Amino acid sequence: MSEMTDMVLEDAAEKMDGAVTHARREMATIRTGRASSAFVEKLNVEAYGVMMTLQELATFSVPEARQLIITPHDAANVDPIDKALRNSDLGLSPSNDGRMLRLSFPPLTEERRKDLVKVINGMCEDAKGKIRGFRRAARKDLEDLQNDGGIGEDEIERAENALDDLTRQHEADADEARENKEKDLLEV
């Protein structure tokens, strides 16, 4: 393939990778009933007069499957972190001993698990929609290359086939991420 079609395909692959990565990150924020720092690490906390993520202010440990311990780097941030957790829509009440915070994750109800599976399916479909959008944009770029006369029909056809393979692979990656998260959610 020519350098021009390679560039179009590389750009499309990079964007598709980003869509899958974003979907995986979003799915990681969905609570499975097991403790995970991904659930709270992006939470904004006001510390030192500015907004910072919890990830910047503390370390996390999981001593048990349903418990997360948050240990601030600076003990002065225990109360601001406690306040941010209580004011968030996470539905968790931290236990504060003055040095660290403990979060206990209650088991999920069957109804809630099914609702979360629907949310995850929506995230997967969003990712697949973005992937298809990147494919459309790359196809347009390939058509433009052909119309400019720099690249022959056979070359464009090979590039489009490679683009279709890329699309199928990235959609399969999004489906795999969805299936893994769904399995985690439905596991009791």
What's the predicted TM-score (pTM) here? 0.68
d(CA 139, CA 11): 12
SS (H, E, C) the chain: CCHHHHHHHHHHHHHHHHHHHHHHHHHHCCCCCCCCHHHCCCCEEEECCEEEEHHHHEEEEEEECCEEEEEECCHHHHHHHHHHHHHCCCCCCCEECCCCEEEECCCCCHHHHHHHHHHHHHHHHHHHHHHHHHHHHHHHHHHHHHHCCCCCHHHHHHHHHHHHHHHHHHHHHHHHHHHHHHHHHHCC
Residue-wise pLDDT tens digits, 82-125: 988 888 767 778 888 888 999 887 777 888 788 888 889 999 99
Confidence (pLDDT) at 86: 86
Kindly state the tokens that stand for 80.
């601001």
Compare 55 and 109 and report the one with higher pLDDT.
55
pLDDT band (50, 70, 90) for residue 188: low
- What domains appear along the chain, each with residue ranges and CATH number? 3-28+109-186 (1.10.132.20), 37-104 (3.30.1360.40)
pLDDT band (50, 70, 90) for residue 33: low
Q: How many alpha carbons lie under 13 Å from residue 169 in its C-beta half-sphere?
A: 11
Confidence (pLDDT) at 64: 85
Q: How far is CA 47 from CA 43, 85, 160, in A?
A: 12, 13, 51
Confidence (pLDDT) at 1: 55
Confidence (pLDDT) at 114: 84
Is the pLDDT at 70 greater than 70, yes or no?
yes
In sequence order, the 6+-apart residues with CB closer than 8 A to the CB of 30 are: 116, 119, 120, 181, 185
Confidence (pLDDT) at 43: 84
Compare 91 and 179 and report the one with higher pLDDT.
179
